[in-house]
Amino acid sequence: MEVVHHHSAFLLPPAPAGHRTSLSYALVVLNQRLPRFAPLLWQHANLRLCADGGANRVFDEMPALFPDEEADVIRNRYKPDVIKGDMDSIRSEVMDFYIKLGTKVVDESHDQDTTDLHKCVSFIRDFTSDLDKSRLCILVAGALGGRFDHEIGNINVLCRFKNMRIILISDDCLIHLLPEGKSHEIHILPSVVGPHCGLIPIGMPSKSTTTTGLQWNINGAEMHFGGLISTSNIAKEDIVTVHSDSDLLWTISIKKPQDRLQIVIWDPNDGSENKENLHILITYLPIFPVVGTAISRIFHHGEEDCHSDEPNSPHNNGILVVDSHG
């Protein structure tokens, strides 16, 4: 049976070349509030699309994540490659701004049978070669929260494109599809996600679902609405395995900064700390590029020397950001 591996590495700063995941990311921004880690998702993506009014969100809200920089500097830096949709939400001045920067605008106002997310996923599918589709993962920012009918429409896109990796993301959680008939291994990064999670049958009842790695595992049980579904579960292991005879939605919480961060004052020359046991957390640092660069280097290389050549790096002052639960 095919084993499918699922990761949340996109919530960590990109690894240096040669250490990166085999996945290739595309980002779709919808017309909901940007998650606080939107710059990090942007950094991971090779292709960035705004679904109609998602362009307003990037234009208005991305500068607020960089309060020490000029708004237009940020707007020029975070320029979408494509804006696509029925164009009933994007403001004219936002469209004009990005067109002048070279963004491609695809007006599909004639198509009222599909959502803007569906239109963007279709564009990415057609844009990507068959060779690369097996490595493609689409991150959808602003997919959850707001109107419930919009959320259901976004979940329906997961089912319409069930052979593509698509992850719906908000500030609070992520959701993706676990297609039936495969063995799924979900690799938990406890510094950034969990522990709260759920497995929900979608489209049809599951006659048999089996899991490992959860506080309340399922052992061949049937799941359906009106009966058993697994919500408010807890991820207990670093790997959660799932096998089901029908499609399931997997959801897991994304930790807030106050749940994840603490500052440790550490003298690298003191020798009192075991550096190998420091689980360095770097997910909230795209807003602070110098810090993120310095800590990412250590996280991905496991360097013994914590000194950084970045002039304002906290490592030169012996400050590390680490997992508060580690």
Task: Provide the H-helix boundaries in 45-171.
Answer: 54-61, 71-77, 92-100, 116-127, 130-133, 148-160
State the average pLDDT over residues 84-105. 96
Query: 236 pLDDT exceeds 90?
Result: yes
Cβ(214)–Cβ(242) under 8 Å?
Answer: no
SS3 315: helix
Q: Please list, in sequence order, all residues whose beta carbon lies within 8 angstroms of the beta carbon of residue 3, skipping any fewer than 6 positions away.
A: 182, 183, 184, 185
CA-to-CA separations, 286 to 17, 67, 272, 295, in angstroms, rounded: 18, 13, 29, 11
Claim to verify: residue 142 and residue 49 sit in the same structural domain:
yes
pTM of the model: 0.79
Residue among 261, 235, 259, 255 at smallest CA distance from 192: 255
Q: Confidence class of residue 293 from pLDDT cuts 50, 70 and 90?
A: very low
Query: 265 pLDDT exceeds 60?
Result: no
pLDDT of 49? 97
Assigned domain for 275 exists: yes
Domain CATH number, residue 227: 2.60.120.320
Claim to verify: residue 74 and residue 184 sit in the same structural domain:
no
Cβ(204)–Cβ(227) under 8 Å?
Answer: no
Cα–Cα distance for residue pair 51/33, rounded to 1 Å? 13
Claim to verify: residue 85 and residue 220 sit in the same structural domain:
no
Q: Confidence class of residue 14 from pLDDT cuts 50, 70 and 90?
A: confident
Claim to verify: residue 40 and residue 118 sit in the same structural domain:
yes
> How many independent structural domains does the chain possess?
3
Query: 120 pLDDT exceeds 80?
Result: yes
Claim to verify: residue 129 and residue 50 sit in the same structural domain:
yes
SS3 120: helix
| Residue found by looking up tokens 């075991």 in the block | 274
Query: 140 pLDDT exceeds 90?
Result: yes
Q: Which domain holds residue 206?
A: 177-255
pLDDT of 259? 63
Cα–Cα distance for residue pair 158/203, rounded to 1 Å? 11
